[in-house]
Structure 1
Amino acid sequence: MSGWRSAVRARGRPEELPRRGTPRGRLLTADDLDEARRVCALDPVTGVLAAARLDVAALVGLEAAGGQAWGFPATGPLAAVCWSGANLVPVVPPAVTGQDAVDAVDAFAALARLQGRRSSSIVGERTVALALWERLAAVWPPAREVRPDQPSLAIDGDPLVEPDPLVRRATLADVDVVLPACVRMFAEEVGYAPVATPGSAYALRVRSLVAEGRAFVHLEPGAGAAARSPVVFKAELGAVAGGVAQVQGVWVDPVLRGRGLAAPGMAAVVVAARRDVAPVVSLYVNAYNAPALATYRRVGFEQVGTFATVLF
């Protein structure tokens, strides 16, 4: 990679952040959002999920953004933040270590216990996310799945393979073919199909990404945008903040896998995202998904950290 390096560094195993009392955090208000975003910017790749929601909150308000922002410590300058919405996303920057890191996780766990489980997942830097879940496991419903090893990858230069010239931004005319592909991807990745009826939260989310120019597709050659042709390849920029665009929802039609379509498709997404959206493109992937890891590394992505996800 050229020039840019993440501040991410390994924290060790989650048990290295032991339980310790209930240090207090605080519910953030609109007046705290700029400072919270600065905390996320200390490690922009790891913080992009929370930072993207904080950006929305700064534009439309916390209530309209669909979640809460928590901060640590309870008084004084913020050292760590956590977004609590559809996902619970703790952000404890790498410079926050030792007892301060323990106290931050304990504070967020205390707030999460008070609120109760409203999120469909806990996701973030591996040690922090797993330590937070270790504190909540006794009081929240059981997790459906824990994914403890998800390499976080990033690229800040030109891809190492030629981009697929047929990958383009999806348009609203493509929604009727993009949405079913998104549902199939989600079901493969998460284990169940989301409710995607017209007007559902999932359908509106897909439509919003398309409308914002953050969805990319390769449709079957020769088919018009309105035709119900197969989606060969698709991906979305699911979170954008702090100079980072995080790719989500990468999918190749199963009948076309093994033909080398994913790497050129991802290369096209990287080129477009770096040109028009953000200079750094990131994603995270399950460590056991060897084919995906090989594809991303072939494109030029490098590992800059490790995430973990707890699914409910």
Structure 2
Amino acid sequence: MPRRRAPLASRVAAVLVVASTALSGCSPAAPSDLDSAALPGPVTVADVAVTAEVYRSRIDPARGGMQLSVRNDGAVPLTIVGARLESPALQQPIVRERTTVIGPGLTRDLALTLAPAACPDEGPEPPQAVLIVQLIDGSTAEVAVPTVDRIGQWAEWVAAECFAAAVAERVGITVRHDATRDEGAHIGLLLDIAPRAGASEAEVELVSLSDTVLFGLVQASDGTRVTKALLPTGTGGGAAAVSIPLLLTPARCDAHALADDKQGTLFRIDVVLDGEPGTVTIAADAATRGGLYDAFRRACGL
């Protein structure tokens, strides 16, 4: 008796199912941070092969952060459930508690929030990274990895933090929006300086304040744009607190510049401390930042 063939529609459906299964097998879903427990991984710590670097992205200065860049040099995906940076240059380790999956041969940047620097620490070595990795049996283990200071930003950060801490021992520095002086394209800013008890002009002097990527500086005398506003000689020492009025103006007028701003309200001040020049960065607080942003919109007509 001749074999009965399945209806054409059924045969087509079967072919489609097989084809769909084959295609899905060739294109597995990309792993995410949430499905890491289902991924294969190293069997023992000896199977973990990674290299690590530290660097700062353009948004890190504003958020007080650092990037730990980890490359998985192994043959299987690596699940990192936590990480920390350890260094004599830190008052405490920098800790990250978040799961990240790194495929073989791939690199992921792990964002960290910096801890206070331990000063003085001149010419610090790059920190050691301690990675908490998940093994294939579900257990975790710590893997210590030396890091490379990719472009010298770790050493720069430590030096800047220690210089700023030494300045802060002598004088308090803050900025405020002065809305009473907003007019047209000009925006008022007050630089508040409060010398600490015992500080003298011979120890610390504030020399100038620089413009930012969002705000330019204007000379009140003639309206000329400048990149630095020179401060009165002797600013910083003495016993009396002072407020120095400054004028800002938008460095550029487009909504994108404001919406994407990361460092526009970080004001850098050149300082001479005990005869040594350096720079400190004064971050506007939330209220000042909001006021300056509103003034920027009004000045630009946004």
**TM-score (ref. length: structure 1):** 0.25
Rg larger for: 2
Q: From the two aligned structures, give the one with the greater strand fraction.
A: 2
